[in-house]
Structure 1
Amino acid sequence: MRRQLLDVLHLFDVTPAPRGQERTAAHRLRAWCADRWPHVEWQVLDHGPAGGSLIATRGAGPLLYSHLDTSLDDGGPFNRLVTGNAAPAGPLTVDGDTVAGFGLGVARGPAAAALVAFAEAGAGRLLLAGSGTHRRAGGITGLEAYTEAHPLPRSAIVAKCGPPTLLWHEPGALYLTVRVTGRSGAAMMAESATPPGGVVASAGVVLDELALWRTAYLAADPRVGQTGRACGIGAISGGWPDKPDLLPARLRVDLYVVAGDRVEPAVLAAELTDRLRARCAESVLRDCEVEVEAEPVAAAAATPADAPVVTAARAAWLDEFGAQPPPITGWTGSTDGVVLRAHGVDTVRLGPQARPASDEPGRDALSLAQLTAYARIYRKLLTELPA
Structure 2
Amino acid sequence: MASGLRRLGTFLRQPLLDVLRLLDTVPAPRGRERTAAHRLRDWCAERWPDIDWQVLEHGPEGGSLFAAHGAGPLLYSHLDTSLDDGAATVNQLVTGNAAPIGPLALDGDTVTGFGLGVARGPAAAALVAFAESGRGQGQLLLAGSGTHRRGTAGGITAVTGLEAYAGTHPLPRSAIVAKCGPPTLLWHEPGAFYLTVEVTGRSGAAMLAESATPPGGVLAHAGVVLDELARWRETYLAADPRQGQTGRACGIGAISGGWPDKPDLLPARLRIGLYVVAGDPVQPAPLAAELAGRLRARCARSALRDCAVDVAVEPVAAAAATPSDAPVVTAARVAWSDEFGAPPPSITGWTGSTDGVELRARGVDTVRLGPQARPAASDPRRDALSLAQLEAYGRIYRRLLSELPA
Q: TM-score range by the shorter chain?
A: over 0.9
* Amino acid aligned to 1:93: A
- Helix, strand or coil at the partner of 1:39: coil
* Cα distance between partner residues in 1 of 2:283 and 2:219: 30
Q: How does 1:338-357 map to 2 (within 5 A)?
A: 338-357=357-376
In the TM superposition, what whole-angstrom CA distance separates every residue of 1:205-255 from its partner, at most 9, and x where no partner exists?
A: 000000000000000000010000000000000111111111111000000
* Cα distance between partner residues in 2 of 1:210 and 1:18: 31
* Amino acid aligned to 2:327: P
Gapped regions of structure 2 (runs ≥ 5): 1-11, 153-157
* Cα distance between partner residues in 2 of 1:147 and 1:360: 37
Gapped regions of structure 1 (runs ≥ 5): none
1:360 is displaced (CA, Å) by 1.3
Give the alignment partner of residue 74 of structure 2, picking from 34, 38, 63. Answer: 63
* Amino acid aligned to 2:147: T
Give the alignment partner of residue 87 of structure 1, picking from 93, 99, 106. Answer: 99
* Amino acid aligned to 1:226: Q
Give the alignment partner of residue 4 of structure 1, picking from 15, 18, 24. Answer: 15
Aligned partner of 2:284 in structure 1 is 265
* Cα distance between partner residues in 2 of 1:170 and 1:121: 28
- Helix, strand or coil at the partner of 1:78: helix
Residues 1:37 and 2:48 aligned together: yes
- Helix, strand or coil at the partner of 1:294: strand
* Cα distance between partner residues in 2 of 1:98 and 1:320: 20
1:137 is displaced (CA, Å) by 2.0
* Amino acid aligned to 1:284: A
Residues 1:102 and 2:102 aligned together: no
Residues 1:315 and 2:327 aligned together: no
Aligned partner of 2:7 in structure 1 is none
1:361 is displaced (CA, Å) by 3.0
Aligned partner of 2:207 in structure 1 is 188
* Cα distance between partner residues in 2 of 1:216 and 1:291: 20
* Cα distance between partner residues in 1 of 2:327 and 2:384: 33
* Cα distance between partner residues in 2 of 1:121 and 1:216: 48
* Cα distance between partner residues in 2 of 1:66 and 1:86: 29
Q: How does 1:153-172 map to 2 (within 5 A)?
A: 153-172=172-191
Stretches of 4+ aligned residues off by more than 6 angstroms: none
1:288 is displaced (CA, Å) by 0.4
Aligned partner of 1:133 in structure 2 is 147
* Amino acid aligned to 1:330: G
Aligned partner of 2:89 in structure 1 is 77
- Helix, strand or coil at the partner of 1:66: strand
Moved more, 9-18 or 344-353: 9-18
Kindly tell me the number of residue pairs found equivalent between the two proteins: 387
* Cα distance between partner residues in 2 of 1:25 and 1:243: 38
* Amino acid aligned to 2:151: A
Residues 1:244 and 2:258 aligned together: no
In the TM superposition, what whole-angstrom CA distance separates every residue of 1:281-337 from its partner, at most 9, and x where no partner exists?
A: 000100000000000000000000000000000000011001000000000000000
Aligned partner of 2:226 in structure 1 is 207
* Cα distance between partner residues in 1 of 2:93 and 2:353: 23
- Helix, strand or coil at the partner of 2:89: coil
* Cα distance between partner residues in 2 of 1:88 and 1:167: 35
* Cα distance between partner residues in 1 of 2:263 and 2:25: 40
1:87 is displaced (CA, Å) by 2.9
Q: CA RMSD in A?
A: 0.6
* Amino acid aligned to 1:110: P
* Amino acid aligned to 2:28: A
* Amino acid aligned to 1:132: G
* Cα distance between partner residues in 2 of 1:62 and 1:104: 24
* Cα distance between partner residues in 1 of 2:364 and 2:383: 31
Aligned partner of 2:123 in structure 1 is 111
* Cα distance between partner residues in 2 of 1:103 and 1:351: 15
* Amino acid aligned to 1:109: G
TM-score by length of 1: 0.99
Moved more, 92-101 or 52-61: 52-61
1:88 is displaced (CA, Å) by 3.0
Q: How does 1:299-314 map to 2 (within 5 A)?
A: 299-314=318-333
In the TM superposition, what whole-angstrom CA distance separates every residue of 1:155-207 from its partner, at most 9, and x where no partner exists?
A: 00000000000000000000000000011111111111111110000000000
* Cα distance between partner residues in 2 of 1:193 and 1:59: 65
- Helix, strand or coil at the partner of 2:250: strand
* Amino acid aligned to 1:72: L
* Cα distance between partner residues in 1 of 2:145 and 2:372: 22
* Amino acid aligned to 1:167: L
* Cα distance between partner residues in 1 of 2:50 and 2:338: 29
1:86 is displaced (CA, Å) by 2.4
Q: How does 1:215-254 map to 2 (within 5 A)?
A: 215-254=234-273
- Helix, strand or coil at the partner of 2:132: helix
